[in-house]
Structure 1
Amino acid sequence: MLLGLAAAAPAQAQGRLEAKYEASLAGIAVGKGGWVIEIGDDQYNAVSSGGTSGLLKAFAGGSGTGASNGRVVAGSLVPSGYVATTVSAKKAETIRMTLTSGYVKEFSIEPEPPVDPERLAITDAHRRNVLDPMTGSLIRAAGSGEVLTADSCRTGMSIFDGRMRYDLKLDYKRMETVKAEKGYHGPALVCALYFTPVAGYIPDRAAIKYLAAQRNMEVWFAPIAGTRVLVPFKVTVPTPLGSAMLEAVEFVTTATPRTAAKTN
């Protein structure tokens, strides 16, 4: 069973999100990004630009694009494919993954990185029951009632990003009101975020140790209209240089009509 995406009744609504984000560090703008997500009755697609392809990737240097797609099965988002390309001053890199029912069948990194003996190896077990980082940034409210509830925060995700396997755990903190410059104005569900590395990383790396020790990271979620899917509106991560923040400046979300059943 995939973690973090609750099951629901078979009948599913449809919705679309077009969002633009700005990233800042200690109040200074450091980047921009965009995210387009389409949720259908039986499939979903998400395309990102900038640093919005994963909750903890938003503040990495350089630019990039990403895409994830998959099926909607009994209310859960089940990824089929993922690709992410990052470009920095030092290098360009593309990660590709193919998934089936939570299992990473194939993955590649181009150009292939050198083997580092200090990096904890990825085993076949680490590739099972996982989500790609983009799908893992979304949560789905269980049931058929209100979506912005404390229980929606009480979940977790097992993530594989093509290089590292890690767990994200959410817990309820509070409710807030948010207002984008364009689009959404309303309640947001604020969840605490906890990061636990599992494999594919170098244990002595300072950044990994720092993130794993943090207890003040937050994700503010807002809903995609017409669905039970919640999307990060705002992410805050304390750093030694000040608070790093990714926040939506545009969050335009619309319910779309269900596809009519075909008849002979």
Structure 2
Amino acid sequence: MAKSGADARGQSAFRSLVAVVAATLPLAALPLDCATAVGPNWPSRVSATYQLSFGGFDVGVYHFDADFAGKSYAAVGKTEVSALFGAFKWAGTFTGKGTLEPSGLQPGVFEMRYKSKKKVTSVKIGFTGTGVSSVALVPNKPPSPEAIKLKPENLKNVFDPMAAMIAVSDARPADACNRTIPVFDGKQRYDLRLSFKGREPITESHPSGQPRELIVCRVKYVPIAGHKPKDFVNPWIDYDKIEIALRAVPKAGIYVPYRVTIPSTIGNAVMTAETINITAADNQQIALKQ
């Protein structure tokens, strides 16, 4: 039986929302300053679980784990989504590895694999020096003739979706929301432009000893290349009003997000932290819970 027009539009819009959630998930940990990013105070492990909701209904979960050893990092994210009464199902795994150099973050390799019903898609990106050296896509379809062509300069000084989480290594508390993160996901090149919106107090059911305040950033999703311009004409998603609420964890020297909100004409997609566990450089255990 053919889907109704409303059902088809709903699923198409939700696919777009999932894509943007995946694009913003990399902001799972941002270093407080340059010294903590490459020095001995960087946490040895960050592990978090987030609840995903859409239009007020729980639709999935996102698990994130990152390990830091010396100058190396390795991160894994896993997402499972089921929405529209089971009509839409999506599961994805994201992995990234690289090094933390005195000059900044150096991504090495990124892999993404996701499944929607019976369709399996994968992306693998390799980096050399300051740019992308290889891209492998499955299925390997040619770009749409409607898409903005990727140029060599679009693949320089960019971060994969996992490397983006620690890309802004010179950030300081005063400008936590004042940055632009250039990202290439294997198909599209885009910027995530953060700006300060405000501060928000929070309460804790289990006191952590960390500041009970969120710094709320606006995030503007700016397509650069690899996208179809028509997808950004009267889109379902408000790409100018994405928000991420960060929480400073001074004992670990990082920010972690408590909430990511992506508005759309058919409801908000929201990622909310349930638990965040951090092993600091001195092996101190820090647990954040809603």
The answer to whether the 8 A contact 1:182-1:249 is kept is no
What does residue 217 of structure 1 align with? 242
The answer to whether the 8 A contact 1:141-1:228 is kept is no
Q: Deviations over 1:163-203 (max 9, x none)?
A: 00001100111222446778966332211100110111111
Q: 5+ unaligned residues in a row in structure 1: which ranges?
A: 53-59, 259-264
What does residue 104 of structure 2 align with? 76
How well do the aligned residues superpose, as a CA RMSD in angstroms? 3.0
Q: Distance in 2 between matches of 1:89 and 1:12?
A: 44
Sequence identity percentage: 25
The answer to whether the 8 A contact 2:50-2:273 is kept is yes
What does residue 56 of structure 1 align with? none
1:108 to 116, 136, 140: 136
Structure with the larger helix share: 2
2:91 to 51, 58, 63: 63
Distance 1:46-1:222 versus aligned 2 partners, 3 A rule: farther
Q: Deviations over 1:11-70 (max 9, x none)?
A: 331312110111111110111110001234312111110069xxxxxxx95101011111
What does residue 198 of structure 1 align with? 224
User: Which SS does the other structure have where 2:257 is aligned?
Assistant: strand
Q: Distance in 1 between matches of 2:77 and 2:267?
A: 26
Larger deviation, residues 180-189 vs 111-120: 180-189
2:273 to 236, 241, 248: 248
What does residue 47 of structure 2 align with? 18
Residue 171 (structure 1) aligned with residue 171 (structure 2) = no
TM-score of the superposition, structure 2-length normalised?
A: 0.73
What does residue 98 of structure 1 align with? 126
Q: 5+ unaligned residues in a row in structure 2: which ranges?
A: 1-29, 82-87, 284-290
What does residue 21 of structure 2 align with? none
1:87 Cα deviation after fit: 0.3
User: Which SS does the other structure have where 1:126 is aligned?
Assistant: helix
The answer to whether the 8 A contact 1:142-1:152 is kept is no
What does residue 57 of structure 1 align with? none
1:36 to 65, 77, 90: 65
Structure 1 outlier segments of 4+, above 6 Å: 4-7, 180-183
1:139 Cα deviation after fit: 5.6
Distance 1:100-1:5 versus aligned 2 partners, 3 A rule: farther
